[in-house]
Amino acid sequence: MNQKTNQPGAPIIVVGAGFAGMSAAFFLAEAGRRVCLLEAGRLAGGRARSFQEARSGLELDWGPHLFMKANPALRDFLERIGAAASLHFASSLDLTFRLRDPSAKGVRTERLRFPARGGSLGGVLALFRWRGPGLRARLEILRGLLRAASEREGAGSEEETVGRMLDRLGQGEASRAWFWEPFSRAVLNLPMEAGSGVLFRRVIAEAFGAGPGGATLGSPGLPMRAFWAERAAEHIRRLGGEVRMKTPVRQIRIEGGEVRGVVLAGGEFLEASAVITAVPPPALLTLLPGDIREEAPWRDFGRLKPGPIASAYLWLKRPSAGPLFEALVDEPWQWLFRPGNHRESADEPIALLAGGVDSVAAAPRGEIVTSARETASRLLPGAVIRRAVAVREKAATWANGADEQAFRPPAETPVPGLILAGDWTATGLPATCEGAVRSGRQAVEAVLGAPAGAEMPPQINI
Ligand SMILES: Cc1cc2nc3c(=O)[nH]c(=O)nc-3n(C[C@H](O)[C@H](O)[C@H](O)COP(=O)(O)OP(=O)(O)OC[C@H]3O[C@@H](n4cnc5c(N)ncnc54)[C@H](O)[C@@H]3O)c2cc1C
């Protein structure tokens, strides 16, 4: 355990105010440590932030987020900062699939709804009632889920892709198209041929291991800033920590092989007893002195790859009725969101979301908006689109590929006092908000030599 703090009395500096950095700073402050959180941007939240859309004045998310009930670290953190009440979960895993169908007025929807109670048996019945793919594919899905949720670690190779894992689990084309592709892409933001089977299996085990209740999806009822980012910063300050926005770090100062502190973009040096970095890999590499970048683990960071996500907000003439979110089958866009369902704004747009290097999220900006308009017109017959705005995050996720897992670094580094956090570090999970918070906890544990906060319940209220 890296309990060593280099300059006693100096604060622990955390770099980056996304979920990883905020949770690390929060748990340190809660443990009574002096902590100083530095964020380059004007607003906290990192990739889970919101922004003010210029023309409407509305606060929109940098991309809609969904969370699972089986996200214990995230839900525990949201609970502690008073944000959990604004996270709305459905009563059970309830997915509507929307698809083109010439025989049904051009479009039809199919609902896969697990009962709120009933455990695995409820799951079996839900799959039987679902009118998505044929019976054979539904039986395959059931068998695949049960096997994947109960397989021991190491059942497939470390470098197994989702596609290969599905071969092993006997999954055919229809079950992939209807279930595994949308599910694994939502989890890994990669095509099945590239995504890590090990990560996917872990998520399946956490989501379905105790019955389908863990896979129930929820979304914030407020834009990210009000939902969690401001609350987290406020809690850190209330616990005695310092949070500084618009304060980019330029370099981590390492002397005599130990961390001494950080140099800010303006040239100011801040002494630190330890530095936790919670920034993505390329940003971290720029902070390190040139001479150590060629050494392990830093030299392998270039192997970690980002995945893009695009979100298109569409203002419709009349509101589009339907559930909060729908999975789109066989379309360039994978999800349709209706955030207005639980926000009190008459002018709330719907949103389409697409992710993955092979998706429209990687296309030129102009094509993104055109494609979103076309998809919405196709799938929402009669909808009149007044206006469309797209945002794209080129590095929405990191290191979810089968060939990248060996290069994700642990929290502790060879440099005493330098600790890593971020959704891309070795958390055992994909790059998600749950992974980011777990990385924040791991970083705190590496500094304190003790678990962050009180014992975290393995599952909360599933
Ligand atoms: C559109 C979109 C949709 C997503 N959907 C989901 C979802 O549905 N569910 C889910 O769980 N996850 C989702 N994710 C992923 C999730 O948002 C990320 O996994 C998570 O937010 C990453 O948190 P982080 O703290 O590791 O990194 P980040 O959020 O990237 O935080 C890093 C912070 O460091 C700051 N920084 C960088 N360099 C410096 C510097 N030199 N000095 C100071 N500060 C610096 C950055 O400004 C940033 O605020 C989505 C992401 C996107 C973009």
Task: Write down the pLDDT at residue 331.
Answer: 95
Adjacency order of strands within the sheet including 325-328: 106-113, 94-101, 325-328, 335-337, 350-355, 306-316, 385-398
Same domain, 149 and 272: no
CATH number at residue 409: 3.50.50.60
Same domain, 409 and 294: yes
Same domain, 188 and 300: no
Task: Write down the pLDDT at residue 409.
Answer: 97
Of 196, 214, 232, which marks where a domain is finished?
Answer: 214
Q: Token pair of 69, please?
A: 């009930």
Secondary structure letter of residue 279 according to DSSP? S
**How many folded domains does the chain comprise?**
2
State the sign of the Cα–Cα–Cα–Cα dihedral 293, 48, 429, 449: positive
Same domain, 206 and 249: no
Answer yes or no: is 188 within a domain.
yes
The residue whose CA is least distant from atom 51 of ligand 1 is: 396
CB 421 within 8 A of CB 442: yes
Q: Report the separation in Å between the CA atom of 392 and the middle of ligand 1, taken as the mean of its atom positions.
A: 13
Residues 109-157: pLDDT tens digits? 999 998 877 677 888 888 889 998 999 999 999 999 989 988 877 788 8
Q: Report the separation in Å between the CA atom of 136 and the middle of ligand 1, taken as the mean of its atom positions.
A: 40
Residue 318 CB burial class (10 angstroms; 0-12, 13-18, ≥19)? exposed
Same domain, 142 and 291: no
Q: How many CB atoms lie within 10 A of CB 152?
A: 5
Answer yes or no: is 431 within a domain.
yes
Q: Report the separation in Å between the CA atom of 2 and the middle of ligand 1, taken as the mean of its atom positions.
A: 25
Task: Write down the pLDDT at residue 456.
Answer: 55
Helices and strands in the chain: count of H runs, count of E runs: 13, 20
Note down the domain range covering 156.
Answer: 117-214
Of 214, 240, 261, which marks where a domain is finished?
Answer: 214
Residues in the chain where the model's pLDDT stays below 50: 1-3, 458-462
Same domain, 187 and 271: no
Same domain, 170 and 286: no
Answer yes or no: is 350 within a domain.
no
Q: Token pair of 36, please?
A: 């100083």
Instruction: Output the ligand 1 site: residues, CB below 6 A.
Output: 15-21, 38-41, 46-48, 62-63, 65-67, 248-249, 278-280, 283, 287, 309, 311, 393, 396-397, 422-423, 431-434, 436
Answer yes or no: is 79 within a domain.
no
Q: Which atom of ligand 1 is nearest to the CA of 310?
A: 1
Answer yes or no: is 443 within a domain.
yes
Same domain, 274 and 146: no
Same domain, 204 and 252: no
Task: Write down the pLDDT at residue 461.
Answer: 44
Answer yes or no: is 394 within a domain.
no
Distance, CA of 107 to CA of 443 (rounded, Å): 48
3-state secondary structure of 11: coil
- CB burial of 81-106 (b: ≥16 within 10 Å; e: otherwise) equals bebbebbebbebbbbbbbbeeeeeee
The best mutation among 206, 279, 359 to test binding of ligand 1, ranked by most ligand atoms within 8 Å of the C-beta, falls on 279
Q: Which atom of ligand 1 is nearest to the CA of 439?
A: 26
Contacts of 309 (CB under 8 A, 6+ apart): 63, 189, 353, 354, 355, 361, 392, 393, 396, 397
Answer yes or no: is 171 within a domain.
yes
Phi, psi of 346 (to 5 degrees): -65, -25
Same domain, 149 and 274: no
Of 189, 214, 239, which marks where a domain is finished?
Answer: 214
Answer yes or no: is 325 within a domain.
no
Same domain, 196 and 251: no
Q: Which atom of ligand 1 is nearest to the CA of 62?
A: 1
Same domain, 156 and 283: no
